[in-house]
Amino acid sequence: MNSITVVKVGGAVVEDDAQLTDLLKDFSAIEGRKVLIHGGGRKATKLAEKLGIETNMVNGRRITGKDMLDVVTMVYGGLINKTVVARLQACGMNALGLTGADMGIIRSRKRPLKDGIDYGFVGDVENTDGKTLSMLVETGIIPVIAPLTHDGNGNILNTNADTIAAETAKALARHYDVTLIYCFEKKGVLYNPDDEDSVIPVITREDFHKFVEDGTVAGGMIPKIENALSAIDCGVKEVIITLAKAIDGKHGTVIR
């Protein structure tokens, strides 16, 4: 089976010009088929603040009211997505910027009340069209996907970028051997958050439960690893959590 690399890059990287330049250069050097998924939450928060729109977060998840939905749609689907696409074109990459609504590639449903919390216009993914994505990839196109989905009824929904990366990898696993790489500002999952070099080399499901119980893994890293394990369970060949500068997948934490 042919291989493909799915890379998810966090907002802290895409919002820093120097880091983004380095990341896209390294991404361009990855051989073969590839897909890029990006975040951008910090930039959305900054714009919302300028517009007088309050940002509310619960366990790292954004409460997305109507005004905030307008902001994230502009920032994720417009400013960041098209900036990344333009930069990739400058690297000689034939990139195409997409949201989940484009060609209906990622359909979701509005999240119901969860633990009594109304997350607003937030989508939980129901279906990802791996066949359409594979058709694009096979023509030499590099999909660049913003963390927005649609519900099939004309509504855009804000959706976690880590989840979109995992769901995209799962859908493509029906067609390719998939390597999913989560890039962020750390070298991997750390034993000690104050020691940048204390990278945990491998995490299994059993390890994950132990690390959550003892507090080694906490906060936003919990859903990231949950998404990674879910991807492995659904046929993704390998998942790596690593530093953006190590996008070649040779370093970082391997999820098994």
Which residues are annotated binding-site positions for substrate? 40-41, 62, 158
Q: Which amino acid is at 180?
A: L
250 CB neighbour count, 10 Å cutoff: 8
In this structure, what are the phi and psi dihedrals at residue 212, rounded to the nearest 5 degrees?
Answer: -70, -45
Q: Treating both helix axes as pointing N-terminal to C-terminal, what angle do 66-74 and 41-50 enclose, rounded to 10 degrees?
A: 120
> Could you identify the residue written with the tokens 């998404």?
227
Alpha-carbon distance 107 to 126, whole Å? Answer: 6
Q: Report the binding-site residues.
A: 40-41, 62, 158
Alpha-carbon distance 167 to 237, whole Å? Answer: 14
